[in-house]
Every structure is written in structure tokens, then in C-alpha cells.
Structure 1
């Protein structure tokens, strides 16, 4: 069993003094399970207000998290509370409208993924943030989950050699019947789960999408949005990223398979296993250009493989709020850069257009990349 260390891409900046007064838009799953608890327990944050049109949910929030105030209307909350940071944890169809409203009331925005329904919405959000001198960052938790951190450490170790393929499989059997089952709500696995895993794959490879092939299907969902995604993304540097999201399978596939020219890594049942060979373990081999295979045999090699079990690096999901404090209360870089978020949204659109048989070749343009 081998222990690997993860070297972060960006160092945190921790010289902050300001306490961020936070307002949360939405009191549903992600707010209840993550944002509200983290705001309450992390140093440097104050839960100033929560807005949700459901009064019953607001009562539950009051008893569980004790915000200073609750509102059934977001604009009223923004006007009366003037928060430093608005956390948008509402359904996707409201993200753009609510973010723009928060900016106009002088608040920065921490927005759940996906930031917008499409590239046009996401660009408008970052453009308005820049125009009004506000900050916007997306929530992409899979960047710092345990198996993702370990995958990065495996790649950084160089054991596998040059990377050429990552397969990511998300397998379940769920007949979705909630709001995410309906396309009119911004539902579907490509937009919702795909936002997580496309970001994770592009973040791991430090790359962007050059072209995609994608199939979307409705299999057992109760709604009209996709519950099966099969996407092949070829990156600018030629790495193949295969994303398989299947909400209609009784048998799961291994969650990860990473392939390099000298070895592979597989993650399944909360365990990473790698098999690789040292560079000098592969003797030179010559191509045989004749049409007569030597000895009438198929080529084969005896390779001295090394195998290791890699324990997952412990993860702290709440670390995301430390990154938020670095950025929103200090002078740190955003943990998720604007151009990274825009690239994820663009790649999702590429996938959707390919699945629908439509062309879409818009790159992340210069005016997008200049947003800070």
C-alpha cells in the first residue's frame, strides 16, 4: 500500500480579517446538506439571511440554523440585508436572474453548479459581475473529494506515464421524479451531473474540449430530461475523456479508469489500484513491416508489472468555504476560475448539440477570458 501526496495547483491565501455576511437563496437539498452547515461552522462567515418561497422550509431553517432573518422573496432580502455574499442554491433555471439581482444590490455571488443553463447565460453572469465590480465563483465540490484528490496525486506521481485516457462512470438505478427530471427546470443528467464530472475531468487534465461525441437518452426517468449520458470528449492536447452517466443500470461499472502509456489505475468500491511498469522495463521493439507474422504468432510481451493499492487522500468538503473566504474576503484567486466555468458550460453545450445533431463550435472567447 502506497501513500501519495497531493500538491495543490493553487496555494491558499489566508490573511483575511473580514467576516462575510452571507445570504442564501434556496433552502433545498444542497443548501440544507452543505451550504447552511458550512456557513454556520466555518470561521469568518455569518448567516445573515435565507430566502425561499416555501414557508415550511424557512421554519425548518430557523430551527436548525438560526439565521438572523428569513424571507420568502429574494429581492426583499437583498434590499434589507445587503449581504456581502449571496449563496445561490436554488434550481438551475433561477441562477442567472438571482445572480444578476445580487450583483445589482452590491453582493458577490457563490453559485451552485451549473452556473447557467447555457454559455449565453453564464457569459452574461460573469460579464455583469465584471461591469459592476463584483465577484462570482462556481461551486464544484468534486475537485476536492477524496477519490478526485487521489486521482490527481496518481497522475502527479508519473507512475502511469503519459496520460491518454480517463473513463468516468456514474452508475445507479433511479427513476428520477424530482425537478431535475424535467428539461424545463434545467434538469437532466448532462446538465446536472455532467457539470460535476466534466469539470472534474478538465480540472484533472488542465485541458479544454476540442471536439465531442455524445448520446443522450431517456430510459427510466419520470420526466422528459435525459437520464443516460454517453460522451467522448477529445481535449485540445489529445486526451480522451469518456463520461458515462447511467441512471438505469442495475450493475455499476468501476467509477474510474485512468490509462497512461506505462500503466493504468482503477477506482472501485472506494479503493484505487494501479498497475504500471518502470520506463526501463520496456525494452526496445522494432516494427515488422512484412506480411508474414514471425512464427505465425500474435505479438506478446512479458512485462514486469508493479501493482499497488492506493488509499484515498482524506478530504474535507468544507474546505471549499475556506477557498471562498480567501477569494471573497481577501485577495486570493478564485478556486474555480471564470474561464474554467465557462469551458465546462461550453463543453456541456457541445455535448448537447452533438446529441441533437446540431453544430456548435463557439470557443471560450477573449471577452469571456478577461472576466475577473
Structure 2
């Protein structure tokens, strides 16, 4: 360990406390020296956890300084302004998702980072899921052939009545859960910007919410796989596994607990010629392929490698290596910019009615 990175956390709610602080307590390379939150009990929790200074809000924290890295875990509607303020004050910034709601906002943040000669890090921890790394490895091996279609389902059944149901809070399924599957999808899609088709809806009973809680998103483009993502709060029964991938030589299915995939060797497959002009003896095409099947299981069920704490390690490991050793980014700004574009376009296609709070 060369040195410690002095770190401040703006926002000590669900992500600030339960994700970032929980991880940072385990990593001696980072020293939490300050926390900001409007609620007294949360500031008290921060003092108990780190013995650090506390502030009532991000503005006071940034003005006081005394740190190198600002963790922006404020509520979603404050992400852009807090990231801009931190960068303009001369600090590196790690932002919770969504890091922005429009491409224009994201470009303003990256421009501010460049002007200040500081670094902006979007927090895309789902990139480090063990199962997702294995999916990328299997696809890269070529055994599945050309990837045709990828289906990704991040759904369940759950009613909500908190701020994550409000459009004026930059909330909803796509902004809340969506950055995880969209980030993974764009890695699998490739370097091009996808075409987007989306249908979203908001069904909040009589709770007063107006943000989307059903989202069906399709990404497509020339030479790239078609990727279908569903983030629904109304899936009462499981529908298959989280991922189902179709390739010309086989397919893969599975999720965080394990994967299985099968494929065949085209050199060993039966040879055929096209039937002309009709089917042979009124038969359907039929053959026996020499399928090879492999499996992967989550290596250590007793570990937390599928949990937020261990997933955070991948992000913070890379940040430390960048700040201290000049390493390259694993999560590039271009990848996240395309994610913001996808989500902005999805919302543009689905202008949902807004409900005014009484």
C-alpha cells in the first residue's frame, strides 16, 4: 500500500452507508475523513463508523475540503449538481447511479472534470459480478458462435411508496435498477451506439407515484446482437433465469448462482444441401448434433462476491490503481455516456404523466 486516499461521503443513506461505507471500512487504502447528511442520526452513525467530521450537506462538506475523493451518494436528483460542485472544487468524484439523466448533463460533468484536471468515476459495480465476468469469458471464447440475441431479466414483484416512485426525484425502475443491466448490455453489445426501442409504464395503485415501474427495453444495431432487457415490478413468478443468450453455435443460460452453456463443433456437424424445390418426402429437417455442455457455479456460497460489498471492491480497486499507480479505467466514460443516451432515449419515447404532490 503506497498511500491512503482521503475520502468523503456525501449522503449517508442506503447507498452511502450500506454500500460505500460498508466497503470502505474494510479497505485500509481509503480513509473516510468526512460525511455529509441532513439527518442527525445518520451523522451520528458516521462518527461511530469512522470517527470522522460530519456536515449537514454536500455543499458544506465540499467547502471544508480536506479530502481527495468525493463519493457522491446523495439522492438521485442531486447527483449532477454534487458531482459538478466536487469537481469544480478540485476533488476527484465517484458518483452513484444514475450519474446523469441526459447526455448533456453527463458531458457537462466530464467537461468539468477535464477543466479541473480531476477524474470522474461512475459507480458501475455490477460490472464485477463473477457470473458476468464468466459470461464475457464464454462469449469471447467463440464457442457459442456469433451472438444473435441476449435476454436479461431483472424483475420481481414489489410495491413501493418511497421517493424511488417519483419522476421529480429522478427515480423509477430504469434510473434505479436499469443502470446495472444497461451497463452489462452495452459491454456485450460492443463499441457502437445502439438503436433503442422501449416501452415503460407506471402503475402505483393509489400510492401517488408516477415514475416507471415497468420497463421493457430493446437495443439493436447492424452487426450487433439484439439485447432485450426487462425491469418489471410485476413479475410474480420467475421467468427463466436472469440471462439467456442465443448464438449460432449454441447458447447460455443462468445468473448469479451459476451458468450452463452448450455448443457444437460445426466441423463435426452433419453436412447438408438445400432441398429444391420442395421438402424431401414431406419431411421436416432433422439432425443430431454433437452437443458439448459446460457449467459454472458460483465458487464460494459463503462469500459475499455477489453482494454489494464485494462488488464495490472491483470499483475501488480500479480507482485506487488509477489514482496511485496511473492504471487504465475498467469502466470507461464512453461506455457510461452510451448508457445515459440509452436511458434518455427510453424516457423520450415514453413521456409518462406527472402527478403533482399535494
The answer as to whether partners of 2:253 and 2:260 remain within 8 angstroms in 1 is yes
Matched, 1:117 2:112: no
Select the residue among 215, 227, 237 that pairs with 1:251. Answer: 237
Structure-to-structure mapping, 1:321-360, within 5 angstroms: 321-356=316-351
Cα shift at 1:300: 2.2
Partner in structure 2 of residue 278 of structure 1: 265
> Do 1:21 and 1:84's aligned partners in 2 also have CA atoms closer than 8 Å?
yes
Q: Structure 1 stretch 271-280 or stretch 122-131: which is displaced more?
A: 271-280
Once the two structures are TM-superposed, the CA of residue 220 in structure 1 deviates from its matched residue by 4.4
8 Å contact 2:33–2:50 — kept in the other structure? no
- Bigger RCO (CA 8 Å, 6+ sep): 1
Q: 1:340: how far off?
A: 1.0
Partner Cα distance (1:321, 1:239) in 2: 31
SS of the residue aligned with 2:154? strand
Structure 1: state its 5+ residue gaps: 1-15, 358-372
Cα distance in 1 between the residues matched to 2:159 and 2:261: 34
- The match for 2:356 is none
Separation of aligned partners in 1, 2:111 and 2:131: 34
Task: Give the CA deviation at 1:153.
Answer: 1.9
Q: Deviations over 1:154-181 (max 9, x none)?
A: 2123221111211100121111212111
Equivalent of 1:311 in 294, 297, 310? 297
Counterpart residue number, 1:3? none
Measured on the aligned residues, the alpha-carbon RMSD in Å equals 1.9
Query: 1:236 Cα deviation (Å)?
Result: 4.9
Q: Which residue of 2 aligns with 1:262?
A: 249
Structure 2: 5+ residue stretches without partners: 353-358
What is the Cα deviation at residue 245 of structure 1? Answer: 1.0
Contact 1:264–1:275, Cα closer than 8 Å, also in 2: yes
Deviation at 1:313, TM superposition (A): 5.5
2:233 pairs with 1:233: no
Q: Which residue of 2 is the match for residue 44 of structure 1?
A: 29
Q: How far apart, CA to CA, are the structure 1 residues paired with 2:149 and 2:199?
A: 19
SS in structure 2 of the partner of residue 336 of structure 1: coil
